[in-house]
Chain A
């Protein structure tokens, strides 16, 4: 029960928020410190372990041969999965994917895919017959909130560090041989906000998520364009608030990219 959020903690969080303050002393536009470890998992074509505050995520990419979709015969594909492992929090249960897990996976997916930063034609092996599919799955190891942004960072870093396997004339993967890295022309990143006590803040901790009335994620690329959005939870935002979050999201993502530069 160490991590049961107590009601009085939620009340305190809301009180502090009304004064523009946060329980961990951060600014409203300040992300937590994060660290990244790349390519530690040797069976994966690319991998990243991200520690965002106390939230820990392990992400890995497996690239396999697949069949192209009929309406895009010369394009490869990516597929994103997420799991909130019961390891990560006493509230997570083993079993079929929960709605939260599915939402997180799909939002991170759209953030990456809709940025149009992957040249899928480079993942085509033989038009109409065979393509490469990059599966990126990320797992919560310890949850202290904001799996969205942690997953987004881990996903981006692991995909950009993935090696493309060599394929033989029978369209089978040749073990231990590679033909270069997965290329991404842009670096999409999610920025997630919550509204607590009427105030908006970025990168919520678990406690802040519990105290929040509404949540918003926006994916942006370095050119300031937006490529995905998701509003979550039962509360609401004003138009001004949404525009504020978009502006701030672009700013925060730029700072994150700077810190990630050495890994990309």
Chain B
């Protein structure tokens, strides 16, 4: 396993490889652009950032907050470099400052201004803020982590790639603690198993598949393949 904590300018791979996220090439070698965890196993050299603002990407789901209301529409705070504008016609109802919406990014220009579509207002609930670059870990492979924490806390959850988690109902205090734990330990190994073990045996849901077997000790060997697959999910940008 060749995961290391790297700072900007640290060497990620001495050989030419396909470029993943947050790396650059100089003199035939690959270096990290950010403070993060490097991975040069396989054919791709990449770094998962540990810190950083949200970089809007097309097709990302985001949780936005109405920051301004003007005649023609709304200035939506998406927790990035600039706000996004949405015309009033995008919504069935009138919004006011402070309203929470969930939307999808459908276009980003070279100034990182993002256009939104499929927006809908969320009623009630609250927002948990997390470091944007760590949201993929909250979602997990195919949404597995999201599912786990949703069932474990009985809450409704929508995770915005822009570092905002909208939640309503259920055990929100527990959810906040779990989210904080996952965020702070996002780069460590055995995270999925640990969270699974924490929630233990979850009662079956209507229509859900089998029970997950809870473990009380982490005597399981870490599933390297699963970890690697999950870490691929971190990549939100391709070789910039």
B129: interface (CB < 8 Å): yes
The minimal Cβ–Cβ distance linking B160 to chain A, given in whole angstroms, is: 13
Residues of A within 8 A of B79 (CB): 1
Q: Assess the B77–A8 pair: CB atoms within 8 A.
A: no
A11: interface (CB < 8 Å): yes
Q: Assess the A2–B129 pair: CB atoms within 8 A.
A: yes
Q: Assess the A1–B77 pair: CB atoms within 8 A.
A: yes
Q: Assess the B129–A8 pair: CB atoms within 8 A.
A: no
Q: Which of A2, A8, A12 contacts B65 (CB 8 A)?
A: A8
Residues of A within 8 A of B98 (CB): 6-8, 10-11
Q: Which of B77, B80, B97, B126 contacts A12 (CB 8 A)?
A: B126
Cα separation A6 to B80 with both chains bound (whole Å): 14
Q: Which A residues, 1 to 31, have Cβ-Cβ distances below 8 Å to chain B?
A: 1-2, 4, 6-8, 10-12
B23: interface (CB < 8 Å): no
Q: How many residues of A contact B (CB 8 A)?
A: 9
B30: interface (CB < 8 Å): no
Cα separation A6 to B77 with both chains bound (whole Å): 9
B103: interface (CB < 8 Å): no
Cα separation A6 to B99 with both chains bound (whole Å): 9
B133: interface (CB < 8 Å): no
Chain B window 62-98, contacts with chain A (Cβ cutoff 8 Å), 1 for yes, 0 for no: 0001100000000001011000000000000000011
The minimal Cβ–Cβ distance linking A184 to chain B, given in whole angstroms, is: 43
Cα separation A8 to B53 with both chains bound (whole Å): 22
Q: Which B residues, 128 to 150, have Cβ-Cβ distances below 8 Å to chain A?
A: 129
Residues of A within 8 A of B159 (CB): none
Closest to A8 in B: B98
The minimal Cβ–Cβ distance linking B46 to chain A, given in whole angstroms, is: 25
Cα separation A12 to B127 with both chains bound (whole Å): 12
Residues of A within 8 A of B129 (CB): 2
Cα separation A6 to B129 with both chains bound (whole Å): 11
The minimal Cβ–Cβ distance linking B53 to chain A, given in whole angstroms, is: 8
Residues of B within 8 A of A7 (CB): 65-66, 97-98
Chain B window 94-114, contacts with chain A (Cβ cutoff 8 Å), 1 for yes, 0 for no: 000111100000000000000
Cα separation A4 to B129 with both chains bound (whole Å): 11
Cα separation A6 to B166 with both chains bound (whole Å): 14
The minimal Cβ–Cβ distance linking A45 to chain B, given in whole angstroms, is: 39
The minimal Cβ–Cβ distance linking B217 to chain A, given in whole angstroms, is: 34
Cα separation A66 to B155 with both chains bound (whole Å): 66
Residues of A within 8 A of B127 (CB): 6, 8
Residues of B within 8 A of A8 (CB): 65, 98-100, 126-127
The minimal Cβ–Cβ distance linking B101 to chain A, given in whole angstroms, is: 12
Q: Assess the A4–B100 pair: CB atoms within 8 A.
A: no
- The listed residue with most B CB atoms (<10 A of its CB), out of A2, A11, A12, is A2
Cα separation A12 to B65 with both chains bound (whole Å): 15
Identify the 3 closest CB pairs spanning chains A and B, nearest first.
Answer: A7-B98, A8-B98, A7-B97
Q: Which residues of A contact B (CB under 8 A)?
A: 1-2, 4, 6-8, 10-12
Q: Which residues of B contact A (CB under 8 A)?
A: 53, 65-66, 77, 79-80, 97-100, 126-127, 129
- Known contacts A1-B80, A6-B65, A7-B97; can you find 17 more A-B pairs with CB under 8 A? A1-B53, A1-B77, A2-B129, A4-B77, A6-B77, A6-B127, A7-B65, A7-B66, A7-B98, A8-B65, A8-B98, A8-B99, A8-B100, A8-B126, A8-B127, A10-B98, A12-B126
